[in-house]
Chain A
Amino acid sequence: MHQGKILLVEDNPDDVALTIRALKSHNITNDVIVAKDGVEALDYLFGPDGGLGKGEQPAVILLDLKLPKINGMQVLERIRSDERTRLLPVVILTSSDEERDVIDGYSLGANSYVRKPVDFVEFTEAAKQLGLYWLLMNRAPPMPRMP
């Protein structure tokens, strides 16, 4: 799983850049697939050209909540409702500290909820911890068997 991919669902390009930089700065060199919004994320997962079609699935999905078109919660719902992706680890990575969002996230089946810090130092630290944990320590679910 050292080579697991990270699916980063984030609409803010600054945040994307910073996240990737943070990961790199801690020597996490796994492929990061970026989806700019919910539709792209779902396309990647379920679409004909998507990862599943190519027999690959991300080791972890870093999911922002405030996304255009379909918001993060709906994406999560969709991921959890499909047999093929039901078990994929999803980490909600968002600015929101609202209790409602935390509750909804966990209710819909997120594996983790992390608040994005404003301070960059803290941010990189968080990224490193997430990467190390989900990519190295955590054992991802196996690929679903093809029907």
Chain B
Amino acid sequence: MSLRDWPIKQKLTVMLLLVSGLVLLLTSAAFMGYQYWSFRGTMRDMLTVRGRIVAANSTAALAFANDADAREILSALRADPHVVAAALYDKGGRLFATYPAHLTAAALPAAPGPDGYQFERGRLSGFQRVAEAGGQQLGTLYLASDLEAVYDTFRLSGVIGVVVLTVSLLAAYFLSLGLQRTISQPILTLAETAKAVSARQDYSVRAPKLGEDELGALTDAFNQMLGRIEDQNRALRESQEKLQGHATELEQRVADRTRELEERNETLRRNAAELLAANTELDAFAYSVSHDLRAPLRSIDGFSHVLLDDYGAQFDDAGRDALRRVRAATQRMGALIDDLLKLARVTRGEMRMEAVDLSAMAQDLVAELQRTTPARQVEFEIAPGLRARGDSRLLRVAIENLLRNSWKYTEKQARPRVEFGSVQMNGERAFMVRDNGAGFDMKYADKLFGVFQRLHSAAEFEGTGIGLATVRRIISRHGGRTWAEGAVDQGATFYFTL
């Protein structure tokens, strides 16, 4: 586990221990080192002093070449167990006396060296000049001491050092255990709070602030964040509730509207059914009319004719005239019935919408008109490329009526002219049939399209007055409008839109 992943407590404790341990180690090492060197110095000094004393005591023995005395003096060194060897050399550098007594010359240096002591070969050894008070050298003293004292002291101080180290470390450990709490406690508390908040999704919890340091600032920031989260959550909940409310309201409205629409649909369906029923009734009505009304008419006309034929000679002019009028009236009624039937047929029947070439249709109708009455020369002008969408059968009837009207009412003109084209009016396209015939007074413009409405007598122009009514009904079925403009004796223009 890498250092980063250690718990904070452990990290802090280890750090503190490391630091204090290092300090202790360095201090102890320094101290011990100092002790060692200083003790060696002291040892040397002590040996030097001893050497001097022994040397001073050995002058007489050396001067008088008394080796027994010399041996005795040297054996006083017994008192110091660390002295391992001592030797006196005479003036000539020859071995005079040794300590311990049995020491062989091999263990001693062959010849005396200069004054001074050195640490060599695990010993402190050296030479001391033995000299008289006057300064004359009598001989040399050799002293050798082992280093046990140093080692002993060293060992002792080492033990002490280790003990102190251990105790200090322990103390440091417990101290650091306590001290690290000031750092780690707030952190752990914060960490626990955070864990608790995230585990329970409870944002009302706050971390306790345990100080004004950076951790305190962190705790503050953390608490603030929690506070903001709480607020946001609340706002979110509120807006959710509002949304829910709106959604419910919307659903309610949709349900209401749907119900309303269904009711309207129901009404529409019923209306459509009623219309269908009415239309079927009309069907039957028209059918019976076409049989039942015409038969009596035929009888009236027929027998009036019979009267005229067989008994005409017995009638006077007035009588013959009366019969003539009877016949004329029945014929007129027949025409009216036929026209009514035509109009009724226009209203019934399904419309089949398709693209219709009005120009071609008009050309056809004009050709037919000219064929049936070649006697009349009428100038027709039909604009090309007039197309529209509608029921071709019905549109044919409408245009036929308009053209026939124009053809009829231009009868009295010297140069009759009929136009069929389209114009742009108020942004929409309108078709128009224009003639230079009898025209009409605009005062009666709205009567033009009424059923059986005529602005001229039958004597002036024949007709039942149903043509324009038929045109209007056809155009209405296509969703268009019909209107007319004109002036007396200056022609008329009939417009329709699709």
Cα of A96 to Cα of B333 in the assembled complex, Å: 16
**Least CB distance, A121 to chain B, in whole angstroms:** 7
Also in contact, A14 and B298, with CB within 8 A (given A94-B291, A96-B290, A118-B334):
yes
For B295, list chain A residues within 8 Å (CB). 12, 14-15, 95
Contact digits for B340-363, partner A, Cβ 8 Å, 1 yes 0 no:
010000000000000000000000
Does B302 touch A at the CB level, under 8 Å? yes
> For window 97-113 of chain A, which residues contact chain B by CB distance below 8 Å?
97-98
SS class, residues of chain A in contact with chain B = loop
Cα of A117 to Cα of B331 in the assembled complex, Å: 10
For B292, list chain A residues within 8 Å (CB). 66
Does B287 touch A at the CB level, under 8 Å? yes
Does B180 touch A at the CB level, under 8 Å? no
User: Do B287 and A118 touch across chains, with their CB atoms under 8 A apart?
Assistant: no
Cα of A92 to Cα of B305 in the assembled complex, Å: 24
User: Do A120 and B290 touch across chains, with their CB atoms under 8 A apart?
Assistant: no
User: Do A98 and B290 touch across chains, with their CB atoms under 8 A apart?
Assistant: yes
Cα of A15 to Cα of B300 in the assembled complex, Å: 10
Cα of A97 to Cα of B339 in the assembled complex, Å: 12
For B294, list chain A residues within 8 Å (CB). 95, 116, 118
> What is the total number of residues of chain B having a CB less than 8 Å from a CB of chain A?
23
**Least CB distance, B417 to chain A, in whole angstroms:** 33
Tell which of A18, A95, A123 touches B290, judged by Cβ atoms closer than 8 Å. Answer: A95
Also in contact, A120 and B291, with CB within 8 A (given A14-B303, A21-B306):
no
Also in contact, A98 and B287, with CB within 8 A (given A119-B334, A120-B304):
yes
Does B400 touch A at the CB level, under 8 Å? no
**Least CB distance, A134 to chain B, in whole angstroms:** 21
Q: Which of B297, B299, B338, B341 has the most CB of A within 10 A?
A: B299
**Least CB distance, B373 to chain A, in whole angstroms:** 19
Tell which of B291, B302, B303, B330 touches A96, judged by Cβ atoms closer than 8 Å. Answer: B291
User: Do B341 and A97 touch across chains, with their CB atoms under 8 A apart?
Assistant: yes
Also in contact, A120 and B305, with CB within 8 A (given A14-B299, A15-B295, A95-B290):
yes
SS class, residues of chain B in contact with chain A = helix
Chain A residue nearest in CB terms to B338 = A97
User: Do A118 and B341 touch across chains, with their CB atoms under 8 A apart?
Assistant: no
Also in contact, A118 and B305, with CB within 8 A (given A15-B298, A123-B298):
no
**Least CB distance, B280 to chain A, in whole angstroms:** 13
Does B44 touch A at the CB level, under 8 Å? no
For B334, list chain A residues within 8 Å (CB). 118-119
Does B90 touch A at the CB level, under 8 Å? no
Also in contact, A66 and B291, with CB within 8 A (given A18-B298, A118-B297, A120-B305):
yes
| 15 residue pairs A–B, Cβ–Cβ below 8 Å | A14-B298, A14-B299, A15-B295, A18-B303, A21-B306, A94-B291, A95-B290, A97-B338, A117-B298, A118-B301, A118-B330, A120-B301, A120-B304, A121-B305, A123-B301
Residues on B facing A (Cβ under 8 Å) = 287, 290-292, 294-299, 301-306, 327, 330-331, 333-334, 338, 341
8 smallest CB-CB distances across A and B, nearest first, come from A118-B334, A14-B299, A120-B305, A18-B302, A120-B302, A95-B294, A120-B301, A66-B291
Residues on A facing B (Cβ under 8 Å) = 12, 14-15, 17-18, 21, 65-66, 94-98, 116-121, 123
